[in-house]
Amino acid sequence: MSIKEVKINERITCKTVRLIGEQGEQLGIKTTEEARQLAADSGVDLLMVSPEADPPVCKIIDYGKFKYEQKKRQHEHHKHQPQIKELRLRPKTEDHDLMVRVKQAREFIERGDRVIVSVFFKGREMAHSELGREVLVKFMAQMEDIAKAEAPPRMEGRRMGIVLVKK
C-alpha cells in the first residue's frame, strides 16, 4: 500500500470497521466514530489498513512513524546490487598503470562487486602468453589481502582472464 492512497482519521467514510489496537490486538467491530475516538484518546491516528475487507480493517497507529518506516523500507530496495566489473590490461602494462587498476579493483571488491581482470593480446603477443600471465600474477599478488581468484588464469581466444571475488 503506497502512502498516497492511505485513508486516515476523517477520510474514513464507512459506517463500521474492524479495529486493531496499537500492539496488534483485535478490538472487534466498532463504528467509525468509536474507532476515531479511541485513536484520539491514545493521541495517535486511525489508519485504514485493508479497505477491501468486509468490514474494512483499521488500525490505531502513529501515522508519522508509519510514513517514516514505509520510506525506510522503500530505501532498502535501492541499496547497491552486486555487479561484475571488468578491468582490461595488456601484456606490456607498466607498474604504475597496474597500480591504478589495482586501486580501482579494490574499490569494486569493497563495494561487493566481482571483478574480471583481462589481459588482451594483439598480433605477435599471442606467442608470449607468459607475459600476460605474469601481469595477472602481479595483479593477484596486490589483491590477495582482500580478494581471491575463483579459478586460475585461463586463455579464451585472444584474452587471458581471471575473476576476483571478496574473501
Q: Judge if 151 and 102 occupy the same domain.
A: yes
Question: Please, what are the averages of pLDDT over each run of 10 residues along the chain (167 residues)?
Answer: 70 88 88 89 88 89 89 81 92 94 96 94 92 93 93 91 93
Given this model, what pLDDT does residue 78 score?
76
CATH code, domain with 99? 3.30.110.10
Residue at which a domain ends, from 44, 76, 108: 76
Q: Judge if 89 and 134 occupy the same domain.
A: yes
Residue at which a domain ends, from 76, 92, 126: 76
Rounded CA separation 29/70 (Å): 27
Q: Judge if 98 and 136 occupy the same domain.
A: yes
Residue at which a domain ends, from 47, 76, 105: 76
Given this model, what pLDDT does residue 4 score?
58
Helix H segments across 50-93?
Answer: 63-76
Given this model, what pLDDT does residue 1 score?
53
Given this model, what pLDDT does residue 3 score?
52
Tell me the residue range of the domain where 13 lies.
3-76
Q: Judge if 145 and 114 occupy the same domain.
A: yes
User: Based on the structure, what is the number of domains in the chain?
Assistant: 2
44: helix, strand or coil:
coil
Given this model, what pLDDT does residue 136 score?
93
Given this model, what pLDDT does residue 9 score?
85
Q: Judge if 63 and 102 occupy the same domain.
A: no
> Which amino acid is residue 69, in one-letter code?
E
* Distance (Å) of CA 10 to CA 47, 48, 69, 151: 10, 11, 23, 64
Instruction: Note whether 163 and 151 are within 8 A (CB).
Output: yes
For the entire predicted model, the pTM comes to 0.57
User: What torsion, rounded to 10 degrees, do the Cα atoms 129, 134, 136, 137 define?
Assistant: 140
> Which amino acid is residue 73, in one-letter code?
R
- Count of alpha carbons within 13 angstroms of residue 153, beta-carbon side: 19
Within 8 A by CB and 6+ apart from 2, the residues are none
Instruction: Note whether 98 and 139 are within 8 A (CB).
Output: yes
